[in-house]
Amino acid sequence: LLVLTPRMDTARRLGLLWGAHAVHTRDVDSFEEMVAKAKRMALRHKIAKAGDRVIVMAGVPFGTPGSTNVLHVVRIIGDELKGYSS
């Protein structure tokens, strides 16, 4: 389970859960940006590789606690890290 959150307290709490890998990251402005960031982080943290499918869950509108209402299955292409430094 890869958790991306702009809230440090949330990252710390979820980092204590078995099987969870919490990453503190800046907030996103759109659903597309969130999906792209999730794919990059999954590759960067070696949670997924090219050809894998990942499930992205989010709450829209962003920033509303308890509003998880989107589940999106995406495929990792493998070139998501191009143009980004580690």
pLDDT in tens, 36-55: 988 988 998 898 999 999 98
Return the closest-CA partner of residue 34 out of 9, 63, 14, 11: 63
Q: What is this structure's pTM? A: 0.78
Q: Across the strands, what pairs with 74? A: 54
For the purposes of burial, counting CB atoms within 10 Å of the CB of 2, is it exposed (0-12), middle (13-18) or buried (19 or more)?
A: middle
First CA to last CA across the chain, in angstroms? Answer: 20
What pLDDT band is residue 9 in, cutting at 50, 70 and 90?
Answer: very high
Question: What are the residue boundaries of the structural domains of the chain, listed by start?
Answer: 2-75
CATH superfamily of 2-75: Pyruvate kinase, C-terminal domain (3.40.1380.20)
Q: What is the DSSP string of 29-45?
A: SSHHHHHHHHHHHHHHT
Residues 57, 12: Cα–Cα separation, whole Å: 19
